[in-house]
Amino acid sequence: MKILALTKKLLTTEDSGLTRRLYPFLKILKEKGHYITLISFYEDDKELEKVEPENEYYNKIITVKLHRTAGYLRTLKSFFTKQPFKMEFSNTLKMKRAIAKELKSQNYDILYSHFYKMVPYLKKYKNQNVVIDLCDCAYLVYDRQLKQEKNILKKFFIKLERDFMLNLEKDCINMFDKCIYISDVDRNFVTDETNKDKTIVIPNGVDTDYFKNDTKEYNPNEIIYIGTMSADGNHDAVKYFINSIYPLIKKRIPSATFKVIGAYPKKELVDLVSNDSSVTLTGKVDDVREYAKTAAIAVAPMRIACGLQNKILETMAMSIPTVTTTSGAEGITFDKNILLIENNSKDFADKVCSILENKELRDKYSSISRQFCINNFSWIENTNMLEKVFVDIIESKND
- Do 141 and 88 lie in one domain? The reply is yes
DSSP 290: H
CB-CB contact of 202 with 385 (8 Å) = yes
User: Is residue 155, in this structure, part of any structural domain at all?
Assistant: yes
**For residues 88 and 160, what is the distance between their CA atoms, to the nearest angstrom?**
14
The 3-state DSSP composition of the chain as helix, strand, coil percent (nearest 5) reads 50, 15, 35
Identify the pLDDT of residue 10: 85
Confidence grade of residue 398 (pLDDT, cut at 50, 70, 90): confident
Q: pLDDT tens across 170-192, in order? A: 999 999 999 999 989 889 988 88
CATH number at residue 13: 3.40.50.2000
Confidence grade of residue 365 (pLDDT, cut at 50, 70, 90): very high
Identify the pLDDT of residue 399: 72
Confidence grade of residue 282 (pLDDT, cut at 50, 70, 90): very high
More confident residue, 11 or 223: 223
Q: How far apart are the first and last CA of the chain?
A: 17
* Residue type, position 297, single letter: I
CA 239 to chain CA mean position, Å = 20
User: Is residue 398, in this structure, part of any structural domain at all?
Assistant: no
Beta-bridged to residue 225, according to DSSP, are 260
DSSP 196: G
Report whether pLDDT(13) > 60: no
- Do 21 and 125 lie in one domain? The reply is yes
Distances (CA, A) of 343 to 19, 141, 232, 245, 247: 29, 17, 19, 11, 16
Report whether pLDDT(112) > 90: yes
Identify the pLDDT of residue 390: 97
Q: pLDDT tens across 217-269, in order? A: 899 999 999 999 998 899 999 999 999 999 999 999 999 999 999 999 999 99
232-240 and 138-148 helices, crossing angle to 10°? 40
Confidence grade of residue 216 (pLDDT, cut at 50, 70, 90): confident
- Do 146 and 177 lie in one domain? The reply is yes
- Do 169 and 287 lie in one domain? The reply is no
Q: Within a 13 Å sphere around the CA of 59, how many CA atoms are in the beta-carbon half?
A: 14
- Do 74 and 145 lie in one domain? The reply is yes
Q: pLDDT tens across 292-303, in order? A: 999 999 999 999
Residues sharing a CB contact under 8 Å with residue 306, sequence separation 6 or more, in sequence order: 136, 137, 140, 141, 144, 183, 185, 186, 327, 330
- Do 281 and 187 lie in one domain? The reply is no
Identify the pLDDT of residue 111: 98
Q: pLDDT tens across 51-79, in order? A: 999 999 999 999 999 999 999 999 999 99
Q: pTM here?
A: 0.85
Identify the pLDDT of residue 379: 93
Q: pLDDT tens across 326-360, in order? A: 999 998 999 999 999 999 999 999 999 999 999 99
User: Is residue 212, in this structure, part of any structural domain at all?
Assistant: no
- Do 67 and 146 lie in one domain? The reply is yes
DSSP 123: G
User: Is residue 399, in this structure, part of any structural domain at all?
Assistant: no
* H helices present in 106-151, as ranges: 138-148
Confidence grade of residue 369 (pLDDT, cut at 50, 70, 90): very high
Report whether pLDDT(14) > 60: no
User: Is residue 151, in this structure, part of any structural domain at all?
Assistant: yes
What is the number of domains present in the chain? Answer: 2
User: Percent of the chain, pLDDT > 70?
Assistant: 98
- Do 291 and 335 lie in one domain? The reply is yes
Identify the pLDDT of residue 215: 81
**For residues 381 and 384, what is the distance between their CA atoms, to the nearest angstrom?**
5
**For residues 173 and 105, what is the distance between their CA atoms, to the nearest angstrom?**
28
Structural domain span for residue 352: 222-376
Sheet containing 257-261: give its strands across: 279-281, 257-261, 222-226, 297-300, 322-324, 340-341
Residues 186-207 have a mean pLDDT of: 90
User: Is residue 213, in this structure, part of any structural domain at all?
Assistant: no
- Do 194 and 328 lie in one domain? The reply is no
Confidence grade of residue 304 (pLDDT, cut at 50, 70, 90): confident
- Do 117 and 235 lie in one domain? The reply is no
User: Is residue 210, in this structure, part of any structural domain at all?
Assistant: no
Identify the pLDDT of residue 308: 84
- Do 133 and 233 lie in one domain? The reply is no
User: Is residue 216, in this structure, part of any structural domain at all?
Assistant: no
- Do 278 and 201 lie in one domain? The reply is no
Q: How many CB atoms lie within 10 A of CB 285?
A: 15
